[in-house]
Amino acid sequence: MEPANVTQLLQAHASGDSKALGELIPLVYEKLRKMARGRMRGERPGHTLDATGLVHEAYLELVKFDRLNWQNRSHFFAIASQVMRNILVDYATKKKTEKRGGGRRQVTLGDADSAVEVKIEQLLSVHQALNRLAEMDERRANVVECRFFGGLNMEETATALGISVRTAHRDWKLASTWLKRELGAVR
């Protein structure tokens, strides 16, 4: 995948070239699936989405950004990471609402039922903690989002955020420590 080609196609799409999107998808699809597979590894067993479903839902959201001024390939993947995170949080929120009744009678599955509840609670706790971190330091929260939710490596994260790799490492270390402490206090 040539980063220059991806950037050119993103910019052409933003300029209104309807054919650009058709050419772009094959270039980014495998990277999106890799990101989604990495993200789905942390999800509960029996999740209603699989990696392919997550990519397709993310795609439907990403095409709504038809006039976004894409900076480059990394910017696209950073936004895709954020979109995937939002989709998973929306699913978890919906699942939690359904578990709380949603007007229906609750049927439990014993230990399996509580395992699903723990995964949903963990995802929502991470999401809430990440929002609190973003209020204090948005860049560090963005580093976590790219790494944890997007599956980007440190170099890709740095490029996506327009920072040095060294700064990305430092932000990752500080944000990870803060999140561990924060999430430990939640339990």
Q: Cα dist. 87→62, 82, 183 in Å?
A: 12, 9, 21
Q: Are 84 and 150 in contact (CB under 8 A)?
A: yes
Residue type, 177: T
Tens of pLDDT, residues 140-179: 998 988 887 777 889 988 988 889 999 999 999 999 899 8
The pLDDT value recorded for residue 91 is: 83
Q: 3-class secondary structure for 127-159?
A: HHHHHHHHHHCHHHHHHHHHHHHCCCCHHHHHH
Please state, in angstroms and rounded to a whole number, the distance separating the CA atoms of residues 48 and 93: 13
Claim: this prediction has a pTM higher than 0.75: no
Please state, in angstroms and rounded to a whole number, the distance separating the CA atoms of residues 137 and 125: 18
- When the pLDDT of each residue in the chain is averaged and rounded to a whole number, the result is 78
Please state, in angstroms and rounded to a whole number, the distance separating the CA atoms of residues 152 and 166: 15
